[in-house]
Structure 1
Amino acid sequence: MTPGFVIRVDLFSLEIEVSYMSQLLVSPLRYCLAMLLLASLLITPAVVRAADNAAYEKAVQNAVTYLTNQGQAADGTFSGNTGIGVTALCTLGLLEHGRTPLDPAVKKGLAALEKHVKEDGGIYLEGTRHRNYETCLCLLTFVAANNDGQYDKLIGNANKFLKGLQWDKEEGKSEDDAFYGGAGYGGHSRPDMSNTTFLMEALKESGTSADDPAMQKALLFVSRCQNLESPHNQFEFAPKNPDGGFYYTVAAGGTSQAGQTANGGLRSYGSMTYAGLKSMIYAGVDKDDQRVQAAVAWLGKNYDTEHNPGMGDTGLYYYYHTVAKALEAYGEDEFVTADGKSHDWRKEFTEELISRQQENGSWVNDKAERWMEGDPNLVTGYCLLALAHLQKDAD
């Protein structure tokens, strides 16, 4: 028998035994080959997953440390000069990553939010233009913190308040009106996809079923913001750009943040199309429904981990947070793009987010500050939520 190395590998415990037989007779070349074999055996899927998990945990811990040590003010708020939405978002991000309501930073954040609970059930800063956004984010946060039922009454009242913000017959809008079912910033402001999808998520997480009238009314509005002619959407914009994606709002003459097509259609873009997909699933729309299939087809043609399709760097971190929630709701481990390629979307978006983290643990959109993405507290909150949903149900 030719002298050499005998390598025994236990792939489950990753224990490796190398027996050195007749050291004097082993050539340098054979030694190198044996070492290469040994290295290749070490690189198993389990090792790769362990490395990925370590990078994930480090990114999360650095972000949590940033928020608690640098982002939070003494009064418990995060970016309190902008309202209470960022405080809710960051507190929710901490809760999603293992902090409890008794954690000092979370406890201070919840206390800061509770100061703004109103008699009408809403949770918002007095005089704000963002009653819907703020109440939605606060409701999501109190649901996550409601371990022993202490917030049951608050949650029920906020849920009822949000339902009252929808445009419907009580505001004089019939089902064939473009406003019907949608929600805007608050009061009687024009409804839009972003406000409506936050409302639907907050209602869902606070116990509203998919077949509840509020969810179904919201679904009608969402369906009309899709570039798809269907029994659910007979509005003027659908045939002008029938690509299956979503835009900002069909109401008040229609608006897309991505602009218009040459024929007056409204351009679809990434963040609103993922928001549309998520909202349809929350409202119980089946994957075989033409609306879902059209949205998934658009996303398959525009899958992008580096940009918000149609918007570039604008709204990028809102996009990441929406992608994570939408694809989690869609429920497929692999996302197949138009070229037939299967993507491990959890891994790809996680790696992209980690690569963008600042040295101090925060994230910030330094290329496009629109929609407050120049605020590291807001953007770090988005990223913590995105990472939480990217990790859920993953191996």
Structure 2
Amino acid sequence: MTGSSSARSTVMPRVSPWLNGPRISAGLLRGCFYYATVFGVATFRIGLQDDTLKFRASSRKGYKWLSILIRVLGSCFYGYSYGAWADQYTDWYLRLFFGLRLVGCLVCSVIILVLQVCYEKRILHLVNSFFGLFRRLRALTRTVEAGFGGRLELTLLMFKLLSLAFVFLAFQWQYSPWVLLTILCDLYTSIGTGMIMHFCFVGYLSIGVLYAELNRYVDHQLRAQLSSLQDQVEEDDIQQQPDVQAHANLDECLAIYEEIHQVTCSFQRLFDLPLFLTLVQNLSAMAMVSYHAIMSREYHISLWGLVLKLLIDVLLLTLAVHGAVSSSRLVRRLSLENYTIGQSKSYHIKVGVDKLVRSPRKFKLGSFFQFEIFLGRLNHQQLRVCPLGMFEVSNELTLFFLSAMVTYLTFLVQYGIQTKQF
């Protein structure tokens, strides 16, 4: 009977490890990194160390200076050839658009050069800090399978990949040597400018994944450990020893929360100004291209595709920022302050005072004191993305800009109808 039932039982096919979302997301991230490397923005290498077998970013001096040389020459030629491109258009609006685009691309190119020359060590330290945080989180949660995020991150990365691929479709390729050289310089410079927003997208997406996975561990595993300790310590028994593993897990969680905050602050200090400039450039380009397409009645797929591409980039950035901000604020809703940290509060205070009196130089904060400090810091460590303090990057900002842009385009259509341009 048992044999027949086992024979009739169906065995679910095992899904290949290369078909799960986190592994695919990690592969897409690696592809984006190679994309940035080809266009001279990411001038460092990422690989496994021979001794520790851990991912680590390291400098590539030769490729860095080669990329800097190509960017300088390409930007100079792009600026020099602007006059030839501007003479093709008699409309002052198009001249203004290409002029603003030229200034924006050159300014962002200068920022990329400054980051590569003056802040290379800080960027490498920042990337390695992200790798270290993911390693610590994997060790804490005992996750064996490698990957990045979940279904939401996979969806966002796939849209980002489509946005990166559209850039090559927007250019009208010609095989005249002078025109081809101009197009290549324009492509190299403009893609480098857009890479700033892509870096910010990946950075805030990684911060959101770190917060989300750590919150999930605290909600499902650490709270269960603290609940079991709370059941054991119903009376104020000073002689009862706390659970060592629960204390170690709590200390590690608090340390990871603190390090995520420190890495986020370093990331924001480094990319605050570049993010502000690239956001202003993208939003203004969306409005100007839409104006030109409506007023000149040009409904080419390249023009409206460019508007859609810029809109997708801004939406992806705001979604990544929204995920990071929401996950960072979720720490407050876990209500960890309702749990007893191993022993009663009087036990921690008594033991802490005794250690402080006996050996003040060797005194270290216990879990209770670290926990109280951590809860107090939550009020001062709110994650907010405000480039230069001008505006807050959020979903509300995107909706506000879209409503303003729709109103603006509606006004243009009405103006064209009244002046009989349509």
Q: Which has the higher contact order (CA 8 A, sep 6+)?
A: 2
Which one has a bigger Cα radius of gyration? 2
TM-score (norm 2): 0.25
Structure number with the higher helix fraction is: 2
TM-score (norm 1): 0.26
